[in-house]
Each structure stands twice: as C-alpha cells, then as structure tokens.
C-alpha cells in the first residue's frame, strides 16, 4: 500500500533559493470582482545580505504601460513553483506584498535587475513587488522508490 505524500514547510532561505533559480512566475491581482493571474518573467532584487528578512525582498517585473498589471491595486501575490507529475511531487513559493512603480534611472536599476521578459517589446513599465510574506511548501512522495523510470527502458 502506498503511503500518502508528505507536505513540508520550506524555510525562508529555501524559498529564496527557489526564487533566485527561476525566471518565470505568476502574479495575482484583483480586478473587481475577480482575482486574475498572469505569467511574468521576474528577477529577485536586493543585496546579498539585505535579503535576510522578507521586508527586504523585492521581485522585479516589466509590463506594458496601462495594461491590467500596471493598473492593478497595490496588494498582490506572486508565485513560483515546480512540479514532478511522475512522482506526484513539487514545491511552491508564495510571496505577498505591495506593488510599486520603479524609476529605472535610479541606481541603474534597469541594467542591474532587468527580468529580461521573453517578449520585451513595449514592456516599458517597471514594477517591483515589495514582499511582506514569503512562504513555501514542498510535497514529496514518502516512498520515492527506484530513481529510474521503467518507462525509459520499455
């Protein structure tokens, strides 16, 4: 009989490591009355030792001026995750916070923290999500079994 998967809370450091390792996430905004979710390219912003606390973490994104993300209310959520469908496992990092416009000329922000969107044309509005909370979970199979898939040999 298979055992149920385990759900583990990720530490803040593990969440940061997963955020830094990725470049595509989803931003959730409320456009009355519905929550809407959009995929975005992103980059973690901060200084090495400044990321020790959630209040010092920023997520940089670029979008088109005047679109839904640009017009969104200040309070947003942001998520990055990874899924292993074969093993019914994965992880998720959720950042909640406030979104702010950025003056890209300040401190060479555009050169240092460009999230390099896959479609850059017209994405001239720079935004940062100032994190209030950063949480994460990992779902893993208790009985991982053999590390190789039998499907690879058949």
Q: What is the pTM of this model?
A: 0.79
Say which DSSP state 2 is in.
P
Residues 29, 36: contact at Cβ < 8 Å?
A: yes
Check residue 14 and give its pLDDT: 94
Residues 90, 139: contact at Cβ < 8 Å?
A: yes
pLDDT tens for the chain, residues 1 to 154: 456 678 999 999 999 999 999 999 999 999 989 999 999 999 998 655 445 565 678 898 988 899 999 999 899 999 999 998 888 889 999 999 999 988 777 766 666 666 676 676 767 788 999 999 999 999 987 555 555 555 555 5
Q: Which CATH superfamily groups domain 6-152?
A: Electron Transport, Fmn-binding Protein; Chain A (2.30.110.10)
Which residues 6+ apart lie within 8 Å of 133 measured at CB? 54, 94, 95, 96, 97
Residues 8, 137: contact at Cβ < 8 Å?
A: yes
Check residue 1 and give its pLDDT: 44
Which residues 6+ apart lie within 8 Å of 110 measured at CB? 104, 126
């Amino acid at each position: 009989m298979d055992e149920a998967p385990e759900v583990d809370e990720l530490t803040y450091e593990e969440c940061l490591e997963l955020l830094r390792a990725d470049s595509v996430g989803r931003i959730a905004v409320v456009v009355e009355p519905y929550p809407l979710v959009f995929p975005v390219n992103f980059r973690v912003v901060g200084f090495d030792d400044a990321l020790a606390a959630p209040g010092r973490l920023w997520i940089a994104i670029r979008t088109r001026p005047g679109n839904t993300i640009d017009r969104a209310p200040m309070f947003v959520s942001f998520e990055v995750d990874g899924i292993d469908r074969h093993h019914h496992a994965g992880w998720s990092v959720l950042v909640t916070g406030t979104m702010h416009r950025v003056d890209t000329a300040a401190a060479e922000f555009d050169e240092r923290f460009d999230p390099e969107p896959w479609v850059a044309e017209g994405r001239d509005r720079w935004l940062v999500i100032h994190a209030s909370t950063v949480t994460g979970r990992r779902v893993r199979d208790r009985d991982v079994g053999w590390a190789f898939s039998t499907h690879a040999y058949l």
